Structure 1
């Protein structure tokens, strides 16, 4: 299997910094509350000084959404949505230990972190512009077709595992209790994103090792090395 960004995306968004983590042996029977709290505390301290809309990481994604022809206050990157919810409610809902800790890291870094169940992905993940024929499954089970030209996470079967780039993941490959093998992708657009995303990827791998005692495979996806090939565990 592999994950990569299409060349035209890298041409249009040269500021893109991306990293990926592949891990197996994930189970739901662990506790991550204290570990997640350490990350959410970082976000809390930042939000006490300035709203998430003024974070450079979020402003960069807003510019990216605008460049894609989307209203940045209508469609928000996943990190901004999480930060807004956390600021308003003071907490995030518990979903699955891996999702909970990844969401907490996304809050701390203000960087979108997508987590996919590899058992639900056919062949590969290409981050590319949609043709309009792909199928996206919502969390309620209904289906949609992404707009032609929209940035999606697509697999070999034509399933869109995320719409509007980092805006909304699909229910098809969402992590469940039975999930064991995952692909985690982090992407940033801000100045210094390459350093921040690399740190985030390392932190994700460290959390997988500490909580699940599993060694994750990691890679930075760059213009010179845009594709990460890996084995589905």
Structure 2
């Protein structure tokens, strides 16, 4: 499958740059602790110098949310939410090792990273404004309909896999113990987004190959 952006998204956010990593062969019997420790060390050094709200990556997402009519401190992008939680508590619950790794990558680069179970996605994925008829399943199993005009990740069946762009993913396509194929998406909006997405993809793929050496990993620098 592939990822597309609606024309109005590309026009409104000229600095938007994203990258995709597709992995075949993910399983939960892996130990990413070495890679995560290295990435957490990067995040620790950045947070020791400034709070996440001062990072250029996070400021760019706050501006984007404001432009979309959302209160940026009410609807935080996933990277800011992770950094804020990490700075306050320092620990995350033990989840699937892939989720732990991607969270650590997001912390280190201050860039939202989404992970989708490809066997739960129909056709291609498009980042676009909602029409209000799409359906979204929360992690609690509740069905919601995104507001008309809200930016979502939508597949060809009309299912929304993320709400308010990078704010909240759906439980429907979340990684589980049975997940085998995934699509990992990283998006940035700041001035050096292209260079930083490239660096993120490099760090992520290197870690993936170390943790899941038998998996098939492909990378696409989309825009």
Structures share fold, TM-score greater than 0.5: yes
What does 1:128-143 correspond to in 2, within 5 Å? 128-143=128-143
What does 1:1-150 correspond to in 2, within 5 Å? 1-150=1-150
Whole-angstrom CA distance in 2 between matches of 1:63 and 1:94? 32
Q: Give unmatched runs, 5+ long, in structure 1.
A: 223-233
Whole-angstrom CA distance in 1 between matches of 2:129 and 2:78? 18
SS at 1:88's partner residue?
helix
SS at 1:48's partner residue?
helix
CA RMSD of aligned residues (A): 0.8
SS at 1:216's partner residue?
strand
CA contact 2:25–2:216 (8 Å) conserved in 1: no
What does 1:210-221 correspond to in 2, within 5 Å? 210-213=210-213, 214-221=215-222
Runs of 4 or more above 2 Å deviation: none
Whole-angstrom CA distance in 2 between matches of 1:38 and 1:92? 16
Q: Give unmatched runs, 5+ long, in structure 2.
A: none
Q: Summarize deviations over 1:163-210 as a string: whole Å, max 9, x none.
A: 000000000000000000000000001110100011111222212211
CA contact 1:36–1:104 (8 Å) conserved in 2: yes
Aligned to 1:230: none
Normalised to the residue count of structure 1, the TM-score between the two structures is 0.94
Aligned to 1:228: none
Whole-angstrom CA distance in 2 between matches of 1:131 and 1:46? 39
What does 1:177-196 correspond to in 2, within 5 Å? 177-196=177-196
Aligned to 1:156: 156
Whole-angstrom CA distance in 2 between matches of 1:220 and 1:35? 22
How much does 1:215 deviate?
Answer: 3.3
How many residues align? The count is: 222
